[in-house]
Amino acid sequence: MTTQIKKRPRVPVHGVLLLDKPVGFSSNDALIKAKRFLSAMKGGHTGTLDPFATGLLPLCFGEATKFSQDLLEADKTYTTVVHLGITTTTGDTEGEILEQKTVDVTLSSIEQVLKQFIGPIRQVPPMYSALKRDGKPLYEYARAGVTLEREARDVVIHELELLSFATPLLTLKVKCSKGTYVRVLGEDIGAALGCGAHLKELRRVQVGHLVLEKSITLESLESMSEQERLALLDPVDALLSSFPSLRLSDELAIRFLHGQRLALGREAIVLPEHLGRVRVYRDTDGQLLGSAQLQEFQILAPERLIKTQ
């Protein structure tokens, strides 16, 4: 007689988990595993990390998923090891070797080349990427041996720091805008040095204001009790902490949660100095109500609303 293992029921879980994604896991695989550990009903990740990459993967659960787009738009910081002299089909260790060249570069030449990539640059997205063409990811075309034309995209490399160089390995710290492919950056640096390159390692250390130091591994998460896991979650407003806050009376909070635009000019409310995005709370209990845009003439326009108790 076969004994069936009873699955734990899914429950409403709200908050943000900072995960240190291991190598070999897709972002979705890591999300599914963490979601199961938390018995969470709803969850999503905030920007894909390639399976060969490791590091910070913020996971949003419940009401926090409404604000995950903000991290997709945020700047990212990585450390990466660029292997000079070898190019691969994927631009990283998962591809087949295309070409090998002798590495004959100096520290001075590396520093000069890196300067060329700081600031606004244009990148051609790689074929091995999740970008879609006619509803199908580019990597599916690539695996079938098909190469499609791709338009170059504007990205910004805010910082490009040389951490170490020991032939043929170049270790860099990269702070970049959304949409940047560090694999392509590594390949382009190798091309500019005349020897080609691919990424040997890639580790994400920061997303917006969230940092890797506060993350946890799947292995550690698995060893914890359910209460310990839930205690790790940052509150929903952790994703909004870079925006100024605004507090509403109970009456205004009700109207706000109904999606009404509020004229705050005559209300006894402390308003932020500048117009733009704000996080909104109910004053009596500190409950997060959602995000909004503070517009001209002290008009508050609701943006994304939280289900409150």
Closest among 95, 123, 86, 111 to 198, alpha carbons compared: 86
Residue tagged 């720091």 (tokens)? 161
Cα dist from 32 to 29, 36, 48, 201, whole Å? 5, 6, 14, 24
User: Of 45, 40, 46, 44, nearest to 13 (Cα)?
Assistant: 40
What is the total residue count of the chain? Answer: 309
Q: In this structure, are residues 82 and 113 in contact, taking their beta carbons and an 8 Å threshold?
A: no
What is the rounded CA–CA span in Å between residue 107 and residue 50? 29
Catalytic residue among 20, 29, 50, 188: 50
Q: Please, which residues bridge with residue 144 across strands?
A: none
Question: Catalytic residue at 50?
Answer: yes
**Percent of residues in the chain assigned helix, strand, coil, to nearest 5:** 25, 35, 35
- Name beta bridge partners: 295: 299
Closest by Cα among 227, 226, 225, 203 to 215: 203
Q: Which residues are within 8 A (CB) of 281 and not within 5 positions of it... i.e. 6 or more apart? A: 245, 246, 247, 248, 287, 288, 289
What tokens does 264 get? 């705050």
Nearest to 122 by CA among 84, 81, 160, 151: 151
Active site residues: 50
